[in-house]
Amino acid sequence: MAGTQSTRPADFPERTEVAIIGAGIAGCATAYFLAKAGVPVVVLEKGRIAGEQSSRNWGWVRKQGRDPRELPAIIESLKIWPTLEQEIEADIGWKQAGVTYVATTQAQMARFEEWLGFAKPYQLDSRLLSPKETDEMLGTSGERTLGALHTPSDGRAEPAKVVPAIAKAIERMGGRIIEGCAVRTLDIEAGRVTGVVTEHGRIAASSVLCAAGAWSALFNRNLGITLPQLRVRSSVLRTRPAPLVTESATWCGTFAFRRRQDGGYTIAGDGGSTFEIVPDAFRFFRPFFNALKMSRKDLRIRISGEFFRQLAMPKRWGPDDVTPFERTRVLDPDPDAAELAKALAAARATLPGFVDLQMEESWAGMIDVTPDVIPVLCAVDQPKGYFIATGFSGHGFGLGPGAGLLMSELIMKGEARVDLSAFRLGRFFDGTRMTPYAPI
């Protein structure tokens, strides 16, 4: 469906209560809780359901190591995950088998202890493992580890299954999801949103949520709303079925792995991602300065044809113009083969149970990142009735159901059960210091 014209569905709706832009986990989880509350909702997706980040991620669902500002929201999310399969009547590969970060340096152990301090008020089950306990978990023998941070109540799910299953549940409750339908812009009257303009025509709506993932900055720029957001490319591989080492999703310094439902593992490199320099990098240099400084070790910075592709991309358009969203139905970047070969070699060399691991498939995703590496979850001041849920900065899969619940409350009642002020859009412009948090 790359950059093709799509056909207008015969029963294209003329109106709804809430229109949602983007059928990733943020858009679909919000639609799910709205539909459950009886609110008419239509989700509009330029490509296919969860075609971008939400099906390409590692599948980790974790409180562990979260930015302290995200803890109340992820705690709400982890109340939803354990019963989601029953609620939506589908197998999504949920397993509450913990998350573990292994330390190979004293500095990492100190960071883990510091994070436990941030988590203390929430009485989580996170704790430090001794080197012996870590070895027992990983089947290793001594010398390498200094211990680990472990949270038994964290979990994992199959990214390819979760959002399509939520989408089916939305439809069973009377909500609509329309694939191959890009939203071009908003309809606005007297400072209030009155609907969306799509490639197939207008849909009137009282509220609109932008959950457009890595496209949110571009969509909002056309409306005159600045959203500092950049994209980084992150590569992943999956292996053939292999013996069980541990059920816990585990970060080992040079690689990270998660047991898959098919008996293989999802594996990625040391958390490092590739940032291709694009025109927005210059536009947003100031707000991103701290994030870039902090991740200079992990981030491979490159210049490629993407710079000129984005330079040539239209930044402004009207409701009748074909937009960049119709030209790229699904963002499908090439994985970094060298980075993945390194990760696989590290996995084979580190864990005795992984010596014979064989790669089956690889892929990449474009992660949308904000300057402080936490999302934007808010109502926009102008136009009224417009909401944003985006910028999950590489950890929105686990947060997705919680973010959906909180956004549905914000849209329906004007407030959510968790204080969302840390996630307001205005923080980028009111002098708030952009301090990203990294636990490892």
Ligand X SMILES: Cc1cc2nc3c(=O)[nH]c(=O)nc-3n(C[C@H](O)[C@H](O)[C@H](O)COP(=O)(O)OP(=O)(O)OC[C@H]3O[C@@H](n4cnc5c(N)ncnc54)[C@H](O)[C@@H]3O)c2cc1C
Instruction: Round to the nearest angstrom and report the end-to-end CA distance of the chain.
Output: 38
Sign of CA dihedral 150, 153, 154, 157: positive
Query: Is there binding between residue 22 and ligand X (CB under 6 A)?
Result: yes
Question: Looking at the DSSP assignment, which residues form a beta bridge with residue 185?
Answer: 197
Restricted to residues 171-200, the positions that interact with ligand X (CB under 6 A) are 182-183
Binding-site member from 94, 115, 219, 428 for ligand X (CB under 6 A): 219
Query: Is there binding between residue 101 and ligand X (CB under 6 A)?
Result: no
Annotate each residue in 222-261 with x if it binds ligand X (CB under 6 A) or - if it does not, as one string. ------------x-x-------------------------
Indicate the burial class of 120 (C-beta count within 10 angstroms; 0-12, 13-18, 19 or more).
Answer: exposed
Q: Is 147 strand, coil or helix?
A: strand
Nearer Cβ to ligand X, position 135 or 368? Answer: 368
Task: Give the tokens for residue 405.
Answer: 């619940």
Binding-site member from 20, 34, 39, 46 for ligand X (CB under 6 A): 46
**Least separation in angstroms between CB 376 and ligand X:** 10
Nearer Cβ to ligand X, position 287 or 375? Answer: 375
Query: Is there binding between residue 271 and ligand X (CB under 6 A)?
Result: no
Question: Phi and psi of 396, rounded to 5°?
Answer: -90, -5
Binding-site member from 16, 32, 35, 47 for ligand X (CB under 6 A): 47
Query: Is there binding between residue 94 and ligand X (CB under 6 A)?
Result: no
Task: Give the tokens for residue 126.
Answer: 């996170």
Q: Which residue has the tokens 């812009």?
A: 185
Nearer Cβ to ligand X, position 58 or 265? Answer: 58
DSSP class per residue in 49-100: TT-SHHHHS--EE--TT--GGGHHHHHHHHHHHHHHHHHHTS----B---EE
* Rounded Cα–Cα distance for residues 71 and 408 (Å): 19
Give Cα 303 distance to the centre of its chain.
Answer: 24
Cα R_g (the chain), whole angstroms: 21
Query: Is there binding between residue 77 and ligand X (CB under 6 A)?
Result: no
**Least separation in angstroms between CB 229 and ligand X:** 11
Query: Is there binding between residue 70 and ligand X (CB under 6 A)?
Result: no
Query: Is there binding between residue 402 and ligand X (CB under 6 A)?
Result: no
Residues 6+ apart with CB under 8 A from 8: 200, 201
Nearer Cβ to ligand X, position 20 or 119? Answer: 20
Binding-site member from 365, 371, 385, 436 for ligand X (CB under 6 A): 365
Contacts with ligand X, residue ranges (CB under 6 A) = 21-27, 44-47, 50-54, 56-60, 182-183, 211-215, 219, 234, 236, 325, 365, 367, 390, 392, 394-398
